Amino acid sequence: MSFGNKTDPDCLLDEIREELRETQLLTGRPVLEQRVMEALRQTPRDEFVPHELRHVAYANRPLPIGHGQTISQPYIVALMTDLIHPRPGDVVLEIGTGSGYQAAILSQLVKRVYSMEIIEELAADAGARLRRLGYDNIEVRAGNGRLGWPEHAPYDAIIVTAATSRIPHALIGQLKPGGTLVIPIGSQHAAQELLVVNKRGDGSTEEKHVLPVVFVPLTGTGED
């Protein structure tokens, strides 16, 4: 697949639609909700990548943002967003702020976004960037995402943007009954799978494997 025009958000959306068609047998999603696609179109990805990479900001691929971290591939961002079925009244927790791109997209679809980043410099930069761009319903905090953010729980949905070998118990505990957790499961040097976890009314969970992925590892300590 070619990356098309790397400076045009509309060409990026075409790339995402093409990849959705190619992966629909795995994901069950030949298309995504229009609200999600519009949020991607409205989000200036060039503001969330290093200045020297702005010429490829709208390529459908991950890009380095420093500190050994990446901004995720837009197709994956769109898919993970769609998998939580975002609603205007939702409160969402994101683990792994990175540059703030995923949080910016979520903020256009839900009531409130709480985002945690373990690397303090990235958290500070992302918070300042999101404020400068006018995303005023996002709160960014530096901290250990494995422990979640209990002060604002329970959450309608939780998105984790780094891979871990097991689902952290704290995140399941902070998810509302009926809520959805989307998380990559696996290690840095082995196969990873995107997992959707739905929490039932009785507190039990149901898991669905979506497709193979590659993410940086979720760091921090805590009982999984």
Three-state SS at 23 = helix
Three-state SS at 26 = helix
Residue 154, preceding bond cis, omega within 30 degrees? yes
* Phi, psi of 121, deg, nearest 5: -65, -40
Residue 72 falls in the annotated catalytic set: yes
Those residues whose C-beta lies under 8 Å from the C-beta of residue 147, and which sit 6 or more positions away, are 168, 170, 220, 222
Token pair belonging to 107 = 């903020």
What is the separation of C-alpha 195 from the centre of its chain, rounded to a whole number of angstroms?
13
Point out the catalytic residue in the list 72, 99, 107, 115. Answer: 72
Q: Supply the DSSP symbol for 21.
A: H
180 close to 43: Cβ distance less than 8 angstroms: no
40 close to 74: Cβ distance less than 8 angstroms: yes
Which residues are marked as active site?
72
